[in-house]
Chains A and B, each alone.
Chain A
Amino acid sequence: MKKLFYIPAIFLLVTGITLGQDNSPSEQNQKTANTKFILTGFGFGGMGIEGTGDEQKSTFGETGFSPIFLWKQSDRIFFESELEFELKEEGTEIGLEYANISYIFNKYMTLRAGKFLSPFGTFQERLHPAWINKLVSKPLGFGHSAVGPTSEIGFDLRGGIPLYHCKLNYSIYVSNGPKLNNGSDMPEETGMLKYENFIDNNLNKAIGGRFGLLPFPNSSVEIGASYQTAMVGDKDDSLYENIRAQMFAVDFSLVKGIKFLKGIIDIKGQFSQVNVDKADYFDPLDTTGMAYTFENITQVYYGQLSFRPAMLKNKLIKNIELVGRYATLMSPEESKWGEEEKQLTIGINYWTSWRTVIKFNYQMIRHGHDSEEENAFLIQFAIGF
């Protein structure tokens, strides 16, 4: 019944605003010229056969749609937002991946405010979309339960600076930062950092940044270093409010056409480490009430190599790409979530256009030293639009 009221009310409001505007053709053209809006994004679908030994499962799934809204309001003001729709077992999951406004101060400095992809490393900010990521899966520790932040809510100052033969780029941000799981919620993840800190859990703000250097004029190589520091305990929680997390990352990228190989080589890698101050934690299931502690250091790295013979004349072969990636995640051994995981993924991609790809991957994951290897065969069809 309420809907019946809202629909005509919205219609009247929109009509009123529209009629109230001066619709002279010259002004309309001016508005169209100033405001440039684009709906872009990416989508993907696929299937996987995965499991260990006899425990195999095979399912279609891994379907997602991420519309991206870009709005250039003027030469200085820009808005970007990405929504994320993904099929999960419980149903369709909707998320706001990012939404932020940028103001370009000058050639070398842009300020962003809102929720933005974290400039900590490069995978999350530049390489995670399904049509850009060369493999179906993300490297260990770079997915949604990531080691290091995936997004930030705050302010980010960034830019690119030419330096004769080189280029520099930077990003310095202030954000809510991560929060510490002190064990009161999900005791099996005690001591782990949670990065989705939408309402800051304390008065402290995280400070972080990344500096990138492109030493060659053809921009084929980029070396980056990132750092973030933040207090992560809840405000007024005397046991944990002074616990600090420091994290750093180094990343590397090399993309280069090699004439004698008649193709493009793409090498990417990132190493991230998260250090959380040592603290005493309590297990709610431990009736003795004894505290336990551990060195809270988590490390993750991946290295990826791909080759596409894009300079060949044969249309079929030039669109084929070979990819391999190795990733390792080492979380604190004495924690309840600590283990060492290794992931090796190899794949063949076929590009039907510059932004449409079909990926065929074989992946092996080993958890710890004694566990059985988890194998998966994954297929994904991804499109950027």
Chain B
Amino acid sequence: MKKLKIIVVAGSLFIVSAVTLTNCVSLKVTAKNGALLWGDNCKRCHNTPSPVDFTDELWETIGMHMQIRANLTDKETKKIVEFLQSAN
């Protein structure tokens, strides 16, 4: 069990370092479009949803739900909903 713990901790540190380095070149949040924000944010908890699975009206309700539940910013939510509505 101890070996497993060491492997998990070492592996996690390696991944965190790699991710930290690769993240430094990303755009700032406010400069991102809806598609990028959709890709970045949804997968933090679940797989990214397919735009065609809900109508424009339903995306509006789901967007508001996610803004409150996942503490998305107002701008992020608007851009993501607009993207989903345009892509379905």
Answer yes or no: are A and B bound together in one complex: yes
Q: Are B43 and A162 within 8 A (Cβ)?
A: no
Pick the residue among A38, A167, A253 that contacts B29 (CB under 8 A).
A167
Q: Are A258 and B71 within 8 A (Cβ)?
A: no
With A38-B62, A305-B12 as given contacts, are A354 and B19 in contact (CB-CB < 8 Å)? no
Task: Answer yes or no: A51 CB below 8 A from chain B CBs.
Answer: no
Task: Answer yes or no: A183 CB below 8 A from chain B CBs.
Answer: no
- Residues of A close to B28: CB separation below 8 A: 164-165, 217
Interface flags for B60-71 (1: CB within 8 Å of A; 0: not) read 111011011111
Q: A72-B60, A72-B64, A265-B15 are in contact. List 15 more A-B contacts (CB 8 A).
A: A72-B61, A78-B68, A107-B74, A126-B45, A158-B71, A164-B29, A212-B71, A216-B26, A217-B32, A218-B40, A219-B40, A221-B16, A266-B43, A354-B46, A354-B47
The answer for the CA separation of A3 and B24 in the assembled complex, in Å, is: 67
Task: Answer yes or no: A254 CB below 8 A from chain B CBs.
Answer: yes
The answer for the CA separation of A3 and B64 in the assembled complex, in Å, is: 39
Task: Answer yes or no: A49 CB below 8 A from chain B CBs.
Answer: no
The answer for the CA separation of A221 and B21 in the assembled complex, in Å, is: 12
Task: Answer yes or no: A112 CB below 8 A from chain B CBs.
Answer: yes
Residue of A nearest to B9 (CB): A303
Residues of A at the B interface (CB closer than 8 Å) are: 36-38, 40, 70-72, 78, 80, 102, 104, 107-108, 110, 112, 125-127, 131-132, 158-162, 164-167, 169-171, 212, 216-222, 253-256, 258, 264-267, 303, 305, 326, 342, 344, 351, 353-355, 384
The answer for the CA separation of A147 and B79 in the assembled complex, in Å, is: 37
Pick the residue among B69, B71, B74 that contacts A170 (CB under 8 A).
B71
Nearest Cβ distance between residue A342 and chain B, in whole angstroms?
A: 8
Interface flags for B35-72 (1: CB within 8 Å of A; 0: not) read 00000110111111110001001101110110111111
Nearest Cβ distance between residue A120 and chain B, in whole angstroms?
A: 14
Interface flags for B70-88 (1: CB within 8 Å of A; 0: not) read 1111111000000000000
By secondary structure, the B interface counts as helix
Q: Are A219 and B19 within 8 A (Cβ)?
A: no
Q: Are A80 and B71 within 8 A (Cβ)?
A: no
Pick the residue among A40, A167, A253 that contacts B73 (CB under 8 A).
A167
Q: Are B58 and A36 within 8 A (Cβ)?
A: yes
The answer for the CA separation of A72 and B50 in the assembled complex, in Å, is: 21
Q: Are B46 and A131 within 8 A (Cβ)?
A: yes
Task: Answer yes or no: B10 CB below 8 A from chain A CBs.
Answer: no
Residue of B nearest to A221 (CB): B19
Q: Are A305 and B8 within 8 A (Cβ)?
A: yes
Q: Are B15 and A254 within 8 A (Cβ)?
A: yes
Pick the residue among A38, A132, A305 that contacts B45 (CB under 8 A).
A132
Pick the residue among A131, A264, A326, A354 that contacts B4 (CB under 8 A).
A326
Q: Are A218 and B23 within 8 A (Cβ)?
A: yes
Q: Are A303 and B61 within 8 A (Cβ)?
A: no
With A70-B62, A161-B73 as given contacts, are A102 and B43 in contact (CB-CB < 8 Å)? no
Shortest 9 CB-CB distances between A and B: which pairs?
Answer: A169-B71, A107-B74, A354-B47, A216-B23, A160-B71, A160-B73, A36-B61, A72-B61, A217-B26
- Residues of B close to A71: CB separation below 8 A: 61
The answer for the CA separation of A91 and B49 in the assembled complex, in Å, is: 34
Nearest Cβ distance between residue A59 and chain B, in whole angstroms?
A: 29
Nearest Cβ distance between residue B60 and chain A, in whole angstroms?
A: 6
- Residues of B close to A267: CB separation below 8 A: 12, 15-16
- Residues of B close to A104: CB separation below 8 A: 68
- Residues of B close to A164: CB separation below 8 A: 28-29
Q: Are B23 and A70 within 8 A (Cβ)?
A: no
With A72-B60, A78-B65, A355-B49 as given contacts, are A305 and B11 in contact (CB-CB < 8 Å)? yes
- Residues of B close to A110: CB separation below 8 A: 67-68
The answer for the CA separation of A222 and B46 in the assembled complex, in Å, is: 15
With A253-B44, A326-B8 as given contacts, are A126 and B62 in contact (CB-CB < 8 Å)? no
Nearest Cβ distance between residue B84 and chain A, in whole angstroms?
A: 13
Nearest Cβ distance between residue A307 and chain B, in whole angstroms?
A: 10
Q: Are A126 and B70 within 8 A (Cβ)?
A: yes
The contact sample of 17 A-B pairs, CB cut-off 8 A, is A36-B57, A78-B68, A104-B68, A162-B75, A164-B28, A165-B28, A217-B23, A217-B26, A218-B40, A219-B44, A220-B23, A256-B19, A256-B22, A258-B19, A305-B11, A326-B5, A384-B46
